[in-house]
């Protein structure tokens, strides 16, 4: 029997999406579902959601268990899905925004790069190491589906410390952006053919086409570029279409996210620029509040008698599990060690490339060649990622300072002295979540 363990299962809304996908696949309806979280209330809600999904789908012998201890949940797992947020919204994430703001450094999302991404990575990696150590003992052959941000930093750290763990980082930005663009262009998203490569949240489409009923392919880039020129795109996507005008390729992550990965768009000291680019300082905090309200609303719904709706999402987890368990071929975009997949990027970094999935597991494919300007943009993020991983693996505090120094957004807004002082204050504030650095 296939055993699927969700770590951080108290992220109920996301767990509902993933489990709805998994249990909608007939071949997986007899899998054992193991839920783990440290928050008893949220865990109980997710257990109820799982059972309600089974009822909706007519699964009479659903096998599901919940655990407040990690090791029993992991024991014998075939697939481990990570979806936790170390430190939570309060106090950790709020601190990631409030302290930098004192120094004049405004952030939008703060979960991938920038000082918020750096601190989130430093909090998360020790927990990842504990999970991987347990997996080596309790489920050494399991496939680790890693959804936790900062994606590339987390996957890179696992590769360095636990090279035998079978891990792939998963995000929805590639397929979600493709669907968004299909909507803007008025075409069927299921008729798209695209190729994409780069690093997580800084990947670009090398090919974006529409496949017509007669089998012919239409290049959609001319239409996208015309939209960029005519400014007929949605106002919220100013940053990405500006990038398209300047570098000729469309980036996969949202404008709100991507604005933090460079020195160009997010200028807290210049609110007119922030307004022009349709950005909102502290955006992630607003989203967290909305997600908490959504979870409370879900709790109320579960107390009623209304059927729980189950719809397939565009997340990759269920397809990967189906591919490995049944052999049904799948194509996903996964975050994996480079090792020459994108020759212009360092071999040891984590890249986001197409992957083939079947009974043999996850097999990354080489990305198509891309312009040097794009790999140069990626290189800015990779430099920061490398220093965060160095800090986590070696315990050297200097690497944290170096990560902040190299970060494009931080270095554009703060002096080196301000950057170092901010790091010190954040390390002190997050002391309970961090190991000791020397």
Closest to 308 (Cα-Cα) out of 64, 57, 56:
56
| Cβ proximity of 142 and 135 under 8 Å | yes
Sorted by sequence, the CB contacts under 8 Å of residue 360 that are 6+ apart come out as none
Task: Compute the distance between CA of residue 242 and CA of residue 19 in angstroms, rounded to an integer.
Answer: 37
Sorted by sequence, the CB contacts under 8 Å of residue 100 that are 6+ apart come out as 106, 107, 115, 116, 422, 426
Within 10 A of 421 (CB to CB), how many other CB atoms are there? 14
Residue in 30, 67, 172, 356 annotated catalytic: 172
Angle between helices 114-138 and 416-429 (to 10 degrees): 40
| Residue 190 appears among annotated catalytic residues | no
Instruction: Give buried/exposed letters for 409-419 (b at 16+ CB in 10 A, else e).
Output: bbbebbeeebb
The token pair at 313 is 């999402």
Alpha-carbon distances of 90 from 95, 180, 285, 303, 386, rounded to whole Å: 8, 31, 10, 27, 27
Residues marked as catalytic: 172
């Amino acid at each position: 029997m296939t055993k699927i363990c969700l770590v951080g299962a108290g992220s109920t809304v996301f767990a509902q999406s993933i489990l709805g996908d998994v249990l909608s696949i007939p071949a997986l309806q007899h899998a054992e579902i193991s839920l783990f979280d440290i928050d008893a209330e949220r865990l109980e809600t997710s257990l109820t959601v799982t059972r309600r999904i089974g009822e909706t789908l007519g699964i009479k012998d659903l096998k599901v268990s919940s655990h407040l201890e990690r090791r029993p949940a992991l024991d014998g797992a075939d697939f481990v899905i990570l979806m936790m947020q170390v430190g939570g919204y309060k106090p950790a994430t709020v601190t990631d925004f409030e302290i930098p703001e004192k120094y004049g450094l405004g952030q939008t999302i703060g979960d991938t790069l920038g000082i918020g991404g750096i601190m989130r990575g430093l909090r998360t990696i020790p927990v990842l190491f504990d999970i991987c150590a347990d997996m080596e003992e309790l489920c050494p052959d399991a496939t680790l589906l890693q959804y936790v941000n900062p994606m590339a930093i987390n996957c890179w750290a696992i590769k360095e410390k636990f090279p035998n763990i079978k891990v792939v980082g998963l995000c929805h930005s590639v397929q979600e952006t493709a669907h968004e663009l299909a909507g803007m262009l008025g075409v069927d998203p299921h008729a798209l053919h695209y190729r994409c490569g780069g690093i997580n949240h800084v990947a670009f489409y090398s090919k974006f086409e529409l496949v017509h009923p007669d089998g012919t392919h239409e290049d959609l880039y001319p239409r996208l570029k015309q939209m960029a020129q005519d400014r007929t795109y949605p106002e919220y996507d100013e940053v990405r279409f500006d990038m398209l005008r300047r570098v000729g390729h469309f980036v996969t992550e949202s404008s709100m996210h991507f604005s933090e990965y460079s020195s160009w768009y997010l200028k807290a000291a210049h609110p007119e620029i922030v307004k022009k680019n349709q950005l909102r300082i502290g955006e992630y905090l607003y989203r967290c509040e909305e997600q908490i309200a959504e979870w409370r609303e879900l709790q109320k719904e579960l107390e009623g008698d209304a059927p729980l709706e189950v719809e397939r999402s565009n997340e990759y987890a269920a397809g990967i599990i189906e591919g490995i368990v049944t052999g049904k071929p799948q194509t996903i975009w996964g975050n994996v060690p480079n090792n020459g997949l994108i020759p212009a990027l360092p071999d040891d970094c984590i890249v986001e490339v197409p992957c083939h999935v079947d009974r043999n597991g996850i097999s990354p494919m080489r990305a198509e060649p891309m312009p040097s300007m794009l790999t140069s943009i990626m290189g800015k993020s990779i430099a920061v990622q490398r220093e965060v991983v160095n800090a986590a693996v070696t315990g050297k505090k200097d690497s944290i300072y170096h990560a902040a120094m190299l970060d494009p957004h931080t270095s554009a807004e703060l002096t080196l002295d301000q950057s170092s002082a901010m790091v010190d204050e954040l390390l002190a504030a997050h002391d309970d979540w961090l190991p000791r650095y020397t």
